[in-house]
Chains A and B, each alone.
Chain A
């Protein structure tokens, strides 16, 4: 009956979605200022390289933005193809096995015929209008590592030696476990017997090694932690890992749009040795100097003697942090509020629809349930071709995650109304719309509101994923904190996020008092 009064739900959904994308569309992109956007992954080496590239391009007068600490290779790749970023540093092995997987003529990952390989990559990337630079000069390959003392005690020098030690526990980074050239292939290549394997954050894995909760982890060979924690890098004696030469990926159109900047980026070719990049990482991670300063100092010594190195005194740092926190709060609130409002607009009508139509209702509930099970990173990667880097992708993802609690509670709220009450409303001569508006919805309201509250609180927590696509928020503070293993910084992101969740809880309690009839709070 209600479907006569409301537009059918797909139409409602389309209208609401359209409305909400208008709401989040960024005016900045419409203006399209001539500029260069550099991307980086969320590990320190990549952020430093991003800073070096940004400063090089800036020297040519270009307006440069550095979209730092994005959430993974696929996110950067999608953003590069879409044009949200113009350049970033990746590694040849990753390009072949991840970005161009299935697009290149078959070659065993063991084969290291470098020149031939490089030409293939260049041709493969050209099809996507991406230019591949010459290698920057260092090879950051994957490796397995363990504490020197333990390795010496067990006499382990090569990966093959691990065959004799099935009891050792591994803590591997998510990406290494997922990759085509990752753990599974490595284990079968070397016939490794270890079964005790967990996935964990790369930075935290080092902590795991130190306190012996794991004994082996995957490493990047340029990690600053290797000397710091006195780790032994196990020799890849059966030549499993492909070469991971650092290279620049640049959108081909940058050479027309900002030729000076594009050429400037290429000045980095062949300039960085493994020792040099490891030293730069160490200065950031261990001496706690900012990436900007480290990058500028390196450029001044090697490429740009006239470059001004910014101050890195503590008080300026503190100010920046406070500023960043304020900005993170605004960004975080923006993500949560916009996604929640859009979700309410869509989910409440969907819940009403589901409560009215038995079979279609079950399908609607199942669908929003499935959305809930999608991993956030997968959802974000899927969003980027449509919405690009920035808040829109994050908001759409958060919107999807907010649907289930609201739809389900609206549905249950309407379904729990006694049939006699519904009949009374009908029989006194209320129209279907008035019946819904004046009787059924007010009766369902306590449950609807608690669904919205659940969505809001979950949203505040989940909005930290915004950092993965450069949407900012507390997640970016937390991500930097984790990357630098800087616990105070992690807390500076985590505590405000927790406070915001509490605040949301309190706010909705208050809204509930305001909106729900006192008659429904009586114990009958």
Chain B
């Protein structure tokens, strides 16, 4: 789905992403994880074409991202950020259907699609006429997911979508979002700094540190075969007792 060929990125002379080549396969859920400033959001923004790499090329569905075709390529990506990134001057429905109605989808198809997505994200239909300011954080996030799914894109790009939610709301939303991704067989790329969330979603985890991918694979590999002491330290810093115990056990043997 995505292929990155020797890309790198600097801001104001600091390299935030060191040269790397990567691939994200169709149907796979990948999680970009790491501390703040490690470059994980930069990587996701490169995929969405919000920023351009200094060197190298990003391929999406075998085509390079280019200014000329970016608008059309983006319509095949769903993008969700913290708080949903909703437009405050439009109702939830307005947010969800903004682009679809511009692209000539008939009102009947739009209505059907919205109804389907509302049931999928478990958002009560009567909330759709409210403005973002009248919704709770979790409801806003569900609207954001509906908006991302409206055009039925093959890819979902999720930039810390649960970042601002309290634990219980977040728990429900995580469940629903994973179910949606799996049932619709979407390719998903999620950015988070939370190992628990990462392992819950990810078939494949990519741990970044200062602009570099330090380890890539399944959570078990991170615990049993850490590529560097940094990986162990990062996992222990999550304060998940069962993970710490296993790591410590390995070390004892």
Asked if B179 is an interface residue, CB under 8 A from chain A, the answer is: no
- Which of B24-32, B82-90, B239-247 touches A? B82-90
Task: Known A427-B48, A427-B79, A429-B75; judge A520-B98 contact (CB<8 A).
Answer: no
Residues of B at under 8 Å CB distance from A?
48-50, 71-72, 74-75, 77, 79, 81-82, 85-91, 98-99, 102, 131-134, 147-148, 151
Identify 15 residue pairs between A and B in the complex whose beta-carbon atoms are under 8 Å apart, listed by A's number: A424-B85, A424-B86, A427-B48, A427-B79, A438-B98, A442-B89, A443-B87, A443-B88, A443-B89, A517-B89, A517-B90, A518-B131, A519-B90, A519-B132, A522-B133
Cβ distance B130 to chain A, nearest Cβ, rounded Å: 9
For chain A residues 178-214, which have a beta carbon within 8 Å of chain B?
Answer: none
For B83, give the chain A residue with the smallest CB separation.
Answer: A420
Asked if A430 is an interface residue, CB under 8 A from chain B, the answer is: yes
Establish whether residues A423 and B85, one from each chain, have CB atoms under 8 Å apart when the complex forms: yes
Top 7 closest pairs, chain A to chain B, by CB = A519-B131, A522-B133, A424-B85, A517-B89, A429-B75, A429-B74, A427-B79
For chain A residues 41-69, which have a beta carbon within 8 Å of chain B?
Answer: none
Cβ distance B46 to chain A, nearest Cβ, rounded Å: 12
Contact digits for A392-430, partner B, Cβ 8 Å, 1 yes 0 no: 000000000000000000000000000011011111111
Establish whether residues B50 and A426, one from each chain, have CB atoms under 8 Å apart when the complex forms: yes
Establish whether residues B99 and A429, one from each chain, have CB atoms under 8 Å apart when the complex forms: yes
Establish whether residues A428 and B74, one from each chain, have CB atoms under 8 Å apart when the complex forms: yes
Cβ distance A99 to chain B, nearest Cβ, rounded Å: 58
Asked if A523 is an interface residue, CB under 8 A from chain B, the answer is: yes
Question: What is the bound-complex CA distance between A434 and B49, given in angstroms?
Answer: 18
Interface SS of chain A: helix
Establish whether residues A519 and B147, one from each chain, have CB atoms under 8 Å apart when the complex forms: no
Cβ distance B139 to chain A, nearest Cβ, rounded Å: 14
Which one, A421, A434, A516, contacts B85 given CB within 8 A?
A421
Residues of chain A within 8 A (CB-CB) of B102 are 430, 434
Contact digits for A436-475, partner B, Cβ 8 Å, 1 yes 0 no: 0011001100000000000000000000000000000000
Residues of chain B within 8 A (CB-CB) of A519 are 88-91, 131-133
For B51, give the chain A residue with the smallest CB separation.
Answer: A423
Establish whether residues A421 and B131, one from each chain, have CB atoms under 8 Å apart when the complex forms: no
Cβ distance B87 to chain A, nearest Cβ, rounded Å: 6
Asked if A524 is an interface residue, CB under 8 A from chain B, the answer is: yes
Establish whether residues A421 and B87, one from each chain, have CB atoms under 8 Å apart when the complex forms: yes
Task: Known A517-B90, A519-B91; judge A430-B99 contact (CB<8 A).
Answer: yes
Task: Known A429-B74, A438-B98; judge A523-B133 contact (CB<8 A).
Answer: yes
Residues of chain B within 8 A (CB-CB) of A443 are 87-89
For B84, give the chain A residue with the smallest CB separation.
Answer: A424
Establish whether residues B87 and A520, one from each chain, have CB atoms under 8 Å apart when the complex forms: no
Task: Known A427-B50, A438-B98, A519-B133; judge A524-B74 contact (CB<8 A).
Answer: no
Question: What is the bound-complex CA distance between A498 and B144, given in angstroms?
Answer: 49
Asked if A273 is an interface residue, CB under 8 A from chain B, the answer is: no
For B77, give the chain A residue with the smallest CB separation.
Answer: A427
Residues of chain A within 8 A (CB-CB) of B99 are 428-430
Residues of chain B within 8 A (CB-CB) of A438 are 98
For B78, give the chain A residue with the smallest CB separation.
Answer: A428
Question: What is the bound-complex CA distance between A421 and B140, given in angstroms?
Answer: 14
Cβ distance A436 to chain B, nearest Cβ, rounded Å: 13
Asked if A323 is an interface residue, CB under 8 A from chain B, the answer is: no
Asked if A431 is an interface residue, CB under 8 A from chain B, the answer is: yes
Establish whether residues A427 and B74, one from each chain, have CB atoms under 8 Å apart when the complex forms: yes
